[in-house]
Amino acid sequence: MNTTQTLAALLVLALTAACGNTADGARKDADKAADKTAEAAASTGEKMSGAMQTTEVKSALMADTRVDAGDINVDTDEAQKVVMLKGTVKTEAQRVLAGEVATSKAVGYSIVNNLTIKP
């Protein structure tokens, strides 16, 4: 084998090894990307679930004619499974009822009733 053929053979071997490394690297990068995508999807699902819970509780409060829900703010912490009621109502009875409505709609969540009375 002459020098040119030897160099060509070495070049082919080097490129083959580089391609193998590149393929392995590409597979690892694809696996990492897939993991990150799954994590992002789970996070988005939690946020959507929390937003849906907030909407469901607020809608139920607005629909209940016994509660003046105009000054009630509903927030949901999906990670902690907590629904928080903040704002004001006119009576203690409305404050208690708002908590009961939230409890009936947010099954599996703790309710933090921080509503204050402002006649």
The first and second tokens of residue 101, run together, are 């409505």
Distance CA 90, CA 81 (A): 28
Number of separate domains in the chain = 1
pLDDT (mean) for 92-116: 96
pLDDT top residue among 72 and 6: 72
Q: Please give the order of strands across the beta sheet that includes 110-117.
A: 72-77, 82-89, 110-117
Distance CA 14, CA 91 (A): 81
Distance CA 103, CA 74 (A): 12
pLDDT (mean) for 25-40: 58
- Mind listing the pLDDT tens digit for each residue in 34-61? 555 556 545 555 556 888 999 999 999 9
Which domain covers residue 34, as residue numbers? 3-117
